[in-house]
Amino acid sequence: MENIISQFRGFKRQIDELMTRIDIAGKVTLIADLEAAASASDFWDQPEAAQRTMQQLARLKSLAHKWQSLADRIADAIELAEIADADMQAELEAEAEALRGIVEAMSLQAMLSGDYDGEDAIFAIHAGAGGVDAQDWAEMLERMYLRWMEQNGYQAEILERSNGDEAGIKSVTISVKGDYAFGYMQSEEGVHRLVRLSPFDSANRRHTSFAKVELWPDIQSDIEIEVDDKDIRIDTYRASGAGGQHVQKNDTAVRITHLPTGLVVQCQNQRSQAQNRDRAMQILKARLFEMERAKQEAEIAELKGENVDAGWGNQIRSYVLHPYQMVKDHRTSVEVGNTTAVLDGRLENFIEAYLRQKVSG
């Protein structure tokens, strides 16, 4: 029984340290301040600002409740273990095992302390070099990420999807909603490389294909970026689902091109052209915002003398299916031999290693 008590106390020390690091006490104080502001008689005189405050309040309360509930659960386990007899040992061992998994997950979440790590995300995949194989690879990645989102309780909505000429997809843009979607998915941004025997090569030769993953925080109304009408071109077209399903009779899909930067965003999943245009503008603003944020971070890193990668180019991860099977992340050197599990959405090893390296670096 002493061993179980020791485990519970270890969990308590770990959670207490993490709650101090991410300042849960300060967040509780901020919650009280926001609740006081929300009770003012003129609070809803500015609806947009009030809505943002209520969203911030809801997110903070959810976060604080999650950490405080875990701390209370560990305290109860310690108290019970200290008075329990041998008949309860199996039950307490099961609770220790359950708490270990929760504490590990919360430890990982505590690494997400960036300004937008807690936000929803906009996630895009683009086929790169490799022809039909690359388009097939892009679709394989789409399936992998949709499986990961489903397994981890995220709500995924495909905003735009462009089918490949013969197979696969040219691109897809996905809205990802849920706690820390942007923070967790940062590890996936970059170029992904596939090596395999091509199913599209009659000689069954080995091919190398590439696809690019992009990511932006989906902060919508919080983005204060003005886009001049003269700087954009808006095109409309008929939306269609995968495989030509659900073809619209009207031109409801919207493509917006930002002329100064060359950025192109598309949206086709909403019911009307106006809704697709509004959502496409939100995505455009998010991309412009992320470009500016990345530029500022690069300038700061350059002043510090750090090595700044100015391009998309370098692959972050290789997926080798022939002549051997292995997935290797080139930033963290994490390797996984079970390629099937990875392509089925088991990305936890890569995400955790990336976040730990980011925090320690």
Mean pLDDT, range 17-30, rounded to an integer: 92
Percent of the chain with pLDDT over 90: 61
Q: Are strands 315-320 and 190-197 parallel, antiparallel or unpaired?
A: parallel
Q: pLDDT by residue (tens digit) across 249-301? A: 467 899 999 999 999 999 988 878 998 998 898 889 888 888 887 777 676 55
Q: Do residues 291 and 181 share a domain? A: yes
Return the structure tokens found at 158.
């495909």
Q: How many domains would you assign to the chain?
A: 2
Q: Do residues 103 and 134 share a domain? A: no
Point out the domain boundary residue: 109, 135, 154: 109
pLDDT the model gives residue 299: 65
pLDDT the model gives residue 22: 85
Q: Are 359 and 114 contacting, i.e. CB atoms less than 8 angstroms apart?
A: no
Q: Is residue 116 part of a domain?
A: no
- Collapsing DSSP to helix, strand or coil, 21 comes out as helix
More confident residue, 347 or 227: 347
Residue 294 phi, psi dihedral angles, 5° rounding: -65, -40
221: left (phi over 0), alpha (psi -120 to 50) or beta: alpha
Q: Do residues 301 and 323 share a domain? A: yes
316: left (phi over 0), alpha (psi -120 to 50) or beta: alpha
Residue 240 phi, psi dihedral angles, 5° rounding: -150, 150
With DSSP H G I counted as helix, E B as strand and the rest as coil, what are the percentages for the chain, rounded to 5?
50, 20, 30
pLDDT the model gives residue 41: 94
Dist CA 71 CA 231 (whole Å): 52
Domain of residue 215, CATH code: 3.30.70.1660
Mean pLDDT, range 41-46, rounded to an integer: 94
Return the structure tokens found at 22.
């991410």
Q: Do residues 189 and 82 share a domain? A: no
Q: Do residues 266 and 322 share a domain? A: yes
Q: Are 131 and 211 contacting, i.e. CB atoms less than 8 angstroms apart?
A: no
Q: Is residue 115 part of a domain?
A: no
pTM over 0.75: no
pLDDT the model gives residue 241: 54
Return the structure tokens found at 342.
């990875």
Q: Do residues 92 and 177 share a domain? A: no
Domain that holds residue 294: 121-360
Q: Are 127 and 138 contacting, i.e. CB atoms less than 8 angstroms apart?
A: yes
Q: Do residues 91 and 175 share a domain? A: no
- Mean of pLDDT over the chain: 87
Q: Do residues 37 and 126 share a domain? A: no
Q: Is residue 114 part of a domain?
A: no
Dist CA 10 CA 62 (whole Å): 25
Q: Do residues 295 and 315 share a domain? A: yes
Q: Do residues 176 and 319 share a domain? A: yes
Return the structure tokens found at 348.
């936890």
Q: pLDDT by residue (tens digit) across 113-131? A: 777 888 889 999 999 988 8
Q: Are 338 and 324 contacting, i.e. CB atoms less than 8 angstroms apart?
A: no
| Residue 18 confidence (pLDDT) above 50 | yes
Domain of residue 41, CATH code: 1.20.58.410
- Collapsing DSSP to helix, strand or coil, 163 comes out as strand
Q: What are residue 98's DSSP bridge partners? A: none
pLDDT the model gives residue 244: 40
Q: Do residues 125 and 105 share a domain? A: no
pLDDT the model gives residue 223: 56
Q: Is residue 202 part of a domain?
A: yes
Point out the domain boundary residue: 43, 74, 109: 109
Point out the domain boundary residue: 56, 85, 109: 109
Q: Are 281 and 232 contacting, i.e. CB atoms less than 8 angstroms apart?
A: no
Q: What are residue 296's DSSP bridge partners? A: none
Q: Where does the pLDDT of residue 243 fall: very low under 50, low under 70, confident under 90, or very high at 90 and above?
A: very low
pLDDT the model gives residue 11: 96
CA dihedral 265, 270, 272, 277 (to 10 degrees): -20
Q: Do residues 308 and 269 share a domain? A: yes
How many C-alpha atoms does 182 have within 13 Å on its Cβ side?
Answer: 17
Q: Is residue 223 part of a domain?
A: yes
- Collapsing DSSP to helix, strand or coil, 234 comes out as strand
| Residue 139 confidence (pLDDT) above 80 | yes
Q: What are residue 213's DSSP bridge partners? A: 125, 190
Q: Where does the pLDDT of residue 224 fall: very low under 50, low under 70, confident under 90, or very high at 90 and above?
A: low
List Cβ neighbours of 104 (8 Å cut-off, separation of 6 or more).
Answer: none
| Residue 328 confidence (pLDDT) above 80 | yes
User: How far from 13 is each of 89, 108, 180, 318, 360, CA to CA, in Å?
Assistant: 22, 16, 24, 38, 20
